Structures are given as C-alpha cells and as structure tokens.
Amino acid sequence: MAKITLPDSSIIEAADGVSAKQIAEQIGAGLARVAIAAKINDRIVDLTARITGDVSLQIITSKDTAGLDIMRHSCAHVMAEAICDLWPSAKLVYGPNVEEGFYYDIDLDEPIRPGDFERIEEKMNQIVKADKPFIRKEMPRAEALLKLAGDKYKTDNVNRAAGDTISFYSSGDGFEDLCRGPHVPSTGKIGAFKIMSVAGAYWHGDPTQKMLQRVYGTCWRNKKELDDYLMRIEEAKRRDHRVIGRQLDLFSFNDAGPGFAFMHPNGMIIWNLVVEFWRDVHNKFNYEEIKTPIVLNKELWHRSGHWEHYKENMYFTRFDDVDYAIKPMNCPGGCLVYKTRKHSYREFPLRVAELGLVHRHEASGVIHGLFRVRQFTQDDAHIFCTPDQIESEIIGVIELTFEIYRAFGFEDFHVELSTKPENHIGSDEIWESATNALKEALRHKKIDYKINEGDGAFYGPKIDFHIQDCLKRSWQLGTIQLDFSMPQRFELVYTDKDNTEKTPVMIHRAVLGSFERFIGILIEHYAGEMPLWLSPEQARIMPISEKSNDYARALEAKLKSHKLRCSCDLSDEKIGAKIAAAHTEKLPLMLVVGPREAQSDSVNVRIRGREQTKTMKTDEFIKSAAKKIADKEIGLNF
C-alpha cells in the first residue's frame, strides 16, 4: 500500500506501483492535463514514475520553475531531433539548460547557419504537434556502454554520469537520446520556443578539442511569455553601452587601435568625476597615491614572474638595444617604490593606490566595447602589512568597496572566493591561513559568496566582485588578492618589533576594476540617464525664441559661475524641437526661458522623461541643484 502525502498535507492511499500521473488524475482532471512531472520525496521524476510506500508527492506543472526547466530540456531534445532529421550526420554531444533557455552541442562538419533556424523550428513544430510521448528506458551501465559503442561523446557522458543505472529517452519518430531526465509526458506539452543563435564551442571547453556547434534556443510556457522575453532582449540592447556611448558622444573605437578606447569630452567628464569621488573615498580610508611608469625594462618582468606567467598577453618594445615591456599590471612598479626606503612595522598597514594605465594583449575574439579592452586604467592599490593585519585590512577594503558601489546605486552584485590552484607557490599552511582570512572577513561582513575551487592566482587566493550587464553577462569589477610571491621576488622587507627584517604581506586590490569597464557598466546601469552629479551636461537652457537669447546667455553665465555644467540651445528651432533634442541626449534638466521668466529672474524646469514642469526663481533652482549634486542624488525630483 502506498501512502502519499500531498503538499496541502492531505493523504492519498493507493496500491503500490501507482504512477504519479494516476494520482494527478485522482486529484483532478485539470491538474492531470497541465501536469509535467512529479516531485517524489524531493526528487523530480517523470509522471510515469511508480510510487511505492510512504512518500510525499507534488505534481509539477509549467507554473513551477522546475516545470519550466523540464519543458526547456525537453525542447532541447526536440531541437536535437529536428537537427538530426535535417542533418543525418549530426552527432549529439551535450544539451543542458541555461538561464533563459537551453543549448545543444552538436558535432557536424557542415555549418548550421542562422538562415537554417526557420526550417529547424518548422521541424520542431511538426514534432510538437505530433504530441508523441517521451518514453524512459533504463539499463545497467555496461549495457548502455555497449549500446553507445562508437559514439565517443555519449560514451563520455555515460562515463561521467553517476550511478549504475543509465537512462535513455525516446520521443518523436524513433529519436532516442541518452538523458537523465525527467521530461514532459509528451512533446505537445512544450510551450513557445525559438532558436536564438549558433556559435562554436570546444568540447569540454578545451581548446585542443574539436570545435562543436552550439545551437542556443529558448522556450517559454506560451507565446506571450516568449514575446515578452524577446522584447526584454530588445530593451536590453537599447541599454548597450556601445550604442549609448555613440549616441551620447562619450567614447569611440577605431580600426587604428582595436580594443583601445578613445574617450570623448563627454566621456571624460564622467571619468574625471568618478576619479574625484574615488580619491575622496581613498583619502578617507588613509590611502596614499603613486604613479609608476608604463614602460619598464624586461628584466623587471622576469623578476616579477610576469614573463613566465603572462608573456602571451604583454606588449614589448625595444630601443637603444634594450628590451622593454609595457606594463600589464602595476605591482612591480609599486614594489620598486616600496624599495626606495626602509620600512618599519610602525607604518603598517601601508596603503598605496595607483590609477595605473595597463596594456594587455587580449585575444581578438574577447574584445567587447569598454567591458573588455586592451588598454585600461586600473584603480589599483597595494597594501603592505603584517600577517595578523590581513583580516582587518580585507574588512577595510570591503567597506571601502561597498561605500563606492553604494554611491552609484549598485545593489545587485555577487562575490566569489577563488582558492588554491594546482599550479601555485607557497606552502599549504600559508594558503590555508590566507584563504581563512578571506573567509573570515566575508563572514564578518555577512556576505554570501560562491567558492571557485582552484581558481585563485598562482600567488594567492582572491575575492572578486561581479556585476551583470544588460544582457545578463557577468563582469568582474573589484578584486582582492593576497600575494605571497611578489614580496619575496622583490625581496621586500620591513623591520619588525624585534629588530629583525621580515617579509611583508602584499594585498593587491581594485574596487572599480578598470575605469573603462566601470564607466561602461554605469552607462548600462543608468541606461545612459546619468544622475545629475555624473551628467556631462546637467542643464540645457532653451529660449522660447531669439528674443530671449540674451536672458538665456546671462543665465548660462550665472549657472556656470555656480559650477553647473550647462549650455544654451540658441538654434532657430521651436521649443518642442529643442526639448526633443535634449531628451535624445538624455539631459537631466531642461530650463525653458521666455519673456515671462526673463522678467521674474526665474526658470521653467523640465525634468528628463516628465511632462509637468515647474517654474522657480533662478537662485532657488541653483541651490536645489547644487544640493542634489553634492549629495550624489540619483533621483531628479525638484
């Protein structure tokens, strides 16, 4: 006898071996119709799964996240069947879900092109319409390996799978695929789908392996959800910093220097404001600032270990028969500054910041707007301290980091901790204590984090701060890295209490990561609508007609004397056109002035994106704007 507890705590009794589907039918025909899978004792299984004994049961529908996940994976199978039908020589590799859809890796010599998507979708539609059941077949591992003999990809998948029982699913017209499951009961249960893109992907992410074709698709409960998703992508593309950067004349790129950003006057205004703010916060946290050369002798890079570990990404130059490298990191220069005098434990922790311009020859395929460039300015700093100061220093860096992120309204980021890699230097003991110091600091600040085992730098463990761009791609901002290598390589020392020379600990950290990337992220974060304090132009003065131009000019001079960034639109256009132009430029404030305002020394304030306007005395406006700027207010309410 099976005793089945439902989510509402009610209990159904049935004969052993009853299927989840039968129970769903017993609960209600409506539920049975929308049922996709079942959760038996926290394990998600097919609806056909048999129930024995005392269990808890939940029927999963497409409303559940798990139901949508299952639907997507079943959709991947349908896509695989369609592709195998169109290209019989296609070999299936691996087809997991991703955040908002799925992909399937396929080994096929003939390239699948975007132009083929339509016929793949057509074939998929036929399969879905036929509403054939997904049927699970189980067999022992040995039998599965025999069955898959000759298919190196699926054999590999079986070898990587856990457990002794291997399952296959068949659906459609004799299509069968190795799969753990579960699946929807039949292909007709799959909602609205679309093939999104195709891209190359290495088998197991290994560049020495064959490049496969990865076909991306998305699948939603219904057409409306699919359309909403496609709309969201379109919206996101409108936030793309590369598009907005051109629209707002912030920066550009040129074939003359791929991966090297040209910052325009508007972009530099934002840049300099971020630098100014950054300096204020670093002063508050007792940092000093230095600047080290961009081009340094090659020998230095041998000593630092960069030659050995980073040569492929470095630029080199040669003159007067001497080889030089263009710095990819600031630390060696920082070490040379440290060595210019003797240091005492009394001056520790020594926090030395540098806005260092570095060059890294990134692979051509990874260059991406301001997010991934070949020349960038790091907001770097090196903290020299004693081992027992590590944890408090890390806490200090985290506090400084949050203070800076908060000013820009960033709440949505995540933290990752990377631990000892296989190729590392230093003893296990020192790695363990350093990693624990990082963990303790995170625990102390009550920060959740993800652990990337073995992903640390060769010289020490690290904490990274990540943020997502408008298309949900994740980008690293700040980083905190413990470095046991550099102080030794450069023979850095300090004199301790006992008058002996010891090696300091070096903490390498960046908060914004790179100014280029950070400005790109700011643009996407605000969709180009910068808060008042960061806006390249804060207010545009718009005379109603030429008759008010003199008042407009006088007003401009007055606002500028109060350090407001503004200009006059003295064109022959009507006021509506001037407003439209200002909106296109995403200006926060528009000041419409005509004879009325001129007479009363006032301005009519119009706020970006709003219909209603407000007339106020010029002095009152200046005071109010100045306060918003000083407070770095994000809202524009006047």
Partner RNA sequence: GCCAACGUAGCUCAACGGCAGAGCUCCGGUUUUGUAAACCGGAGGUUGAGGGUUCGAAUCCCUCCGUUGGCUCCA
Which of these, 304, 312, 347, 359, lies nearest to 508 by C-alpha position?
Answer: 304
User: Which residue of the set 379, 380, 469, 569 is catalytic?
Assistant: 380
Tell me how many residues contact RNA (CB under 7 A): 77
Q: Nearer to RNA by C-beta: 142 or 577? A: 577
596 near RNA (CB under 7 A): yes
Neighbours of 626 (CB within 10 A): 14
Is position 3 annotated as part of the catalytic site?
Answer: no
130 near RNA (CB under 7 A): no
> Which residues are 197's β-sheet partners?
216
Q: Which of 28, 53, 258, 409 binds RNA (CB under 7 A)?
A: 258
Question: Least distance (Å) from RNA to the CB of residue 452?
Answer: 10
363 near RNA (CB under 7 A): yes
Q: Which of 125, 165, 197, 344 binds RNA (CB under 7 A)?
A: 197
- Contact between 356 and 330 under an 8 Å Cβ cutoff? The reply is yes
For 521-607, strand residue ranges (E) read: 539-543, 566-568, 589-593, 602-607
88 near RNA (CB under 7 A): no
Residues 499-528 that bind RNA (CB under 7 A): 510, 513-514, 516-517
Question: Least distance (Å) from RNA to the CB of residue 573?
Answer: 5
Spatial neighbors of 29 by CB under 8 A, at least 6 apart, are: none
Question: Least distance (Å) from RNA to the CB of residue 391?
Answer: 22
537 near RNA (CB under 7 A): no
Q: Which of 142, 146, 557, 577 binds RNA (CB under 7 A)?
A: 577
Neighbours of 297 (CB within 10 A): 13
Residue 466: in which H helix or E strand, if any? Answer: strand 462-468
Is position 382 annotated as part of the catalytic site?
Answer: yes
Q: Give the C-alpha separation, 250 to 8, whole Å.
A: 57
Q: Which of 576, 630, 635, 637 binds RNA (CB under 7 A)?
A: 576
Is position 284 annotated as part of the catalytic site?
Answer: no
Interhelix angle 390-407/265-284, rounded to 10 degrees, is 140
User: Which residue of the set 360, 420, 489, 525 is catalytic?
Assistant: 360
Which of these, 353, 371, 480, 370, lies nearest to 415 by C-alpha position?
Answer: 480
Main-chain phi, psi angles of 297, to 5 degrees:
-55, 140
Q: Which stretch binds RNA (CB under 7 A): 3-11, 194-202, 427-435, 489-497?
A: 194-202
Question: Least distance (Å) from RNA to the CB of residue 350?
Answer: 22
Residues 443-502 that bind RNA (CB under 7 A): 464, 471, 473, 476-477, 479
Tokens describing residue 168: 């296959």
Q: Which of 604, 618, 622, 629 binds RNA (CB under 7 A)?
A: 604
Is position 470 annotated as part of the catalytic site?
Answer: no
Q: Which stretch binds RNA (CB under 7 A): 68-76, 290-298, 332-340, 586-594?
A: 586-594
Cα dihedral 441, 445, 449, 455, rounded to 10, equals -20
Q: Which of 104, 253, 348, 384 binds RNA (CB under 7 A)?
A: 253
Q: Which of 601, 609, 623, 627 binds RNA (CB under 7 A)?
A: 609
Q: Give the C-alpha separation, 328 to 414, whole Å.
A: 26
Q: Which of 78, 128, 166, 198 binds RNA (CB under 7 A)?
A: 198
423 near RNA (CB under 7 A): no
422 near RNA (CB under 7 A): no
Which of these, 120, 130, 140, lies nearest to 171 by C-alpha position?
Answer: 130
146 near RNA (CB under 7 A): no
114 near RNA (CB under 7 A): yes
User: Which residue of the set 378, 389, 481, 538 is catalytic?
Assistant: 378
- Contact between 260 and 373 under an 8 Å Cβ cutoff? The reply is yes
372 near RNA (CB under 7 A): yes
DSSP output for 76-129: HHHHHHHHHHH-TT-EEEE--EETTEEEEEEE-SSPP-GGGHHHHHHHHHHHHH
Is position 91 annotated as part of the catalytic site?
Answer: no
Q: Which of 146, 322, 366, 451 binds RNA (CB under 7 A)?
A: 366
Q: Nearer to RNA by C-beta: 148 or 261? A: 261
Distances (CA, A) of 544 to 528, 599, 612: 27, 14, 17
**314-319 long-range contacts, CB within 8 A, separation 24+:** 314/359, 314/360, 314/361, 315/359, 315/361
Q: Which of 246, 264, 279, 414 binds RNA (CB under 7 A)?
A: 246
Q: Catalytic residue positions? A: 331, 360, 378, 380, 382, 462, 508
